[in-house]
Structures are given as structure tokens and as C-alpha cells.
């Protein structure tokens, strides 16, 4: 299957990239309430400290006033079976004196692969999102990670564990049965795969489900699909689609969230 796929000519690849970029930029989205932590995992094999930092600011005045900023960073440490990492993100935006974006998160995870196929994970997370009425949401938990398939062209992982969730919300209607503060014990599980279609095309998918132990009808779901298109050597185009669902969201919060993102990635 893989050997019969010949790479596209360079001009065809560039044309396809431009078309995909324009198509994805035309449809935008809103930020998903849940976070795909599989995409955060550092792909490092050498012992030591690794990391990156990203920041951007847009400022416009005149006929229209606009300001936005985004900051993100990750630091990871790899030694033996351990690869703990911390990732941070913050976004803020104002247009014509009205905020349209104000959210952020910090995620700390300590995976340890004690066997080639079996490992443990400890994690903690804190996040907020003004436009989802989320004052704060914190998570702490632990779980098991299993590498079901390990192949250079296909990888399949499953994970399951326990997490405690604390969340404070604003603007909850008094008649709404959803409380403004919740403290829930949840079962968190995921399935994740990565498939190399050709030398220039890779797809990845992760699906999470997080039901509440006392009420499985109260669950959070996240589907994250990504496509990585290799343009030239270390330069790639990545397209990500996230779809999140909260089965017991408050009345004033829509249960579905989607986000579509296009990224240019340089690896070295």
C-alpha cells in the first residue's frame, strides 16, 4: 500500500498547500472547551531539557481598532523512561473596545513508559475561558497508557484513568439545574493513532471520552483529527479539526464547540 504511492511533484504539492490554506482560513472556528493533550506530547529521544516558546501581537488603529495577542510555550525533560512536560497557552483579543477572546491553560503531565508498550501517567491542568463562562477549571488525575501497535508507518495507543474535576462558571441562570460550582470524579479514556500514508502525508486522530462515575449520562467528548502535509524537507503544513461536546452544559452555553486551525511547522 505504502510503497505504491509516489510523491507528488513539488509544484503540485505547493499548489495543493495554497488551496488547503485558503480553504481552511475561509471557515474559521471557536476554541474547543476541551484540550487534546496527545498533540502536546514531546517527540524527544535524547536525554535533557527541550522546549519552545511562541508569541504574537497584532495592533491596528484608525478606521477600526483591533488588538490581539497569543503566547504559548512548552518545556520537557527526558531521562530514561520519564518525559515530564509543561505546556502553557494564553490568548486575548479586543476589537472596537469589545473583547472577543480571553482564554488560557496550563497542562502538566508526567508520562513514564516502564515497558516498551505499557506506561503510567500523572497529570494536572488549569484553564479558563471568558466566553464559555468558565472562571476556572482544574483537573488532577492518573492513568495507564498502552501502545497497542508500534510500527514506523502506524502507531496505535489507548489510555484510561481517573481524574478529579473542579469547575466554576459565571452567568448560570438561577432556574438552571446546572450548579455554578461542580466537583466531579470522572473516568477519562482515549484512543489515538498516527498513520503514514505516503512520505509526504500523515494523518492522526485522537478521541477522548470522560463520563462522570456517578452518572455516565454526564460526559465530555473530544474528537481531534489532524493532517500533516510535508511540503519540502523540514517544512510541513498541519491542519487540525477539533470537535468537543459537553452532554450537561448549562442552558446559556452551547454544548458543541469546534475549532479549525492551519499551521506551518518547521522541524530541525
Tell me the mean pLDDT in the region 62-74: 87
Tell me the mean pLDDT in the region 151-158: 95
Q: What is the strand order of the sheet 66-78 is part of?
A: 48-60, 66-78, 85-95, 98-112, 118-129, 134-150, 154-169, 181-198, 201-212, 215-232, 235-246, 256-266
Q: 10 falls in which pLDDT band (50, 70, 90)?
A: low
Query: Tens digit of pLDDT for each residue in 159-171?
Result: 999 999 999 999 9
Helix (H) or strand (E) holding 121: strand 118-129
What local confidence, expressed as pLDDT, does residue 100 receive? 85
Does this model's pTM top 0.75? My answer is yes
Query: CB count, 10 Å around CB of 36?
Result: 22
Tell me the mean pLDDT in the region 64-73: 88
3-state secondary structure (DSSP) of residue 198:
strand
Distances (CA, A) of 96 to 32, 63, 93, 100, 149: 24, 10, 10, 10, 51
What local confidence, expressed as pLDDT, does residue 250 receive? 93
Tell me the mean pLDDT in the region 82-94: 92
* Total domains present in the chain: 1
Q: Is residue 4 part of a domain?
A: no
What local confidence, expressed as pLDDT, does residue 267 receive? 63
Rounded Cα distance between 6 and 75, Å, is: 37
Q: Is residue 3 part of a domain?
A: no
Rounded Cα distance between 223 and 235, Å, is: 26
- Which residue segment(s) compose the domain that 70 sits in? 10-266
Q: Is residue 40 part of a domain?
A: yes
What local confidence, expressed as pLDDT, does residue 58 receive? 86
User: At residue 20, does pLDDT exceed 90?
Assistant: no
Query: Tens digit of pLDDT for each residue in 94-131?
Result: 987 788 889 999 999 999 999 999 999 999 999 999 98
Query: Tens digit of pLDDT for each residue in 222-265?
Result: 999 999 998 887 788 889 999 999 999 999 999 999 989 887 77
Tell me the mean pLDDT in the region 15-27: 41
What local confidence, expressed as pLDDT, does residue 131 receive? 87
Give the range among 28-32, 35-39, 213-217 with minimum mean pLDDT: 28-32
User: At residue 178, does pLDDT exceed 60?
Assistant: yes
Helix (H) or strand (E) holding 55: strand 48-60
CATH code where residue 83 lies? 2.40.160.40
The chain-wide mean pLDDT, for the chain, equals 85
Rounded Cα distance between 267 and 9, Å, is: 21
What local confidence, expressed as pLDDT, does residue 137 receive? 96
Amino acid at each position: 500500500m505504502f510503497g505504491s504511492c509516489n510523491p507528488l511533484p513539488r509544484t503540485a504539492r505547493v499548489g495543493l498547500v495554497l488551496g488547503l490554506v485558503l480553504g481552511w482560513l475561509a471557515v474559521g472556528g471557536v476554541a474547543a472547551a476541551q484540550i487534546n493533550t496527545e498533540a502536546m506530547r514531546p517527540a524527544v529521544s535524547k536525554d535533557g531539557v527541550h522546549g519552545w516558546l511562541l508569541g504574537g501581537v497584532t495592533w491596528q488603529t484608525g478606521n477600526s481598532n483591533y488588538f490581539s495577542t497569543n503566547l504559548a510555550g512548552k518545556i520537557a525533560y527526558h531521562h530514561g523512561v520519564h518525559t515530564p512536560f509543561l505546556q502553557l497557552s494564553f490568548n486575548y483579543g479586543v476589537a472596537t473596545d469589545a473583547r472577543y477572546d480571553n482564554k488560557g491553560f496550563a497542562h502538566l503531565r508526567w508520562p513514564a513508559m516502564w515497558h516498551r508498550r505499557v506506561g503510567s501517567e500523572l497529570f494536572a491542568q488549569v484553564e479558563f475561558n471568558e466566553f464559555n463562562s468558565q472562571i476556572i477549571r482544574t483537573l488532577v488525575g492518573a492513568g495507564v497508557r498502552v501502545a497497542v501497535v508500534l510500527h514506523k508507518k502506524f502507531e496505535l495507543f489507548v489510555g484510561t484513568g481517573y481524574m478529579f474535576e473542579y469547575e466554576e462558571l459565571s452567568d448560570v441562570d438561577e432556574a438552571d439545574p446546572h450548579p455554578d460550582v461542580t466537583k466531579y470524579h470522572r473516568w477519562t479514556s482515549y484512543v489515538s493513532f498516527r498513520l503514514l500514508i505516503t512520505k509526504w502525508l500523515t494523518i492522526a486522530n485522537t478521541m477522548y471520552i470522560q463520563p462522570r462515575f456517578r452518572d455516565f449520562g454526564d460526559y465530555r467528548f473530544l474528537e481531534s483529527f489532524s493532517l500533516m502535509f510535508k511540503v519540502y524537507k523540514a517544512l510541513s503544513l498541519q491542519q487540525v479539526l477539533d470537535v468537543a461536546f459537553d452532554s450537561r452544559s448549562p442552558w446559556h452555553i452551547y454544548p458543541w464547540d469546534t475549532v479549525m486551525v492551519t499551521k506551518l511547522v518547521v522541524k530541525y
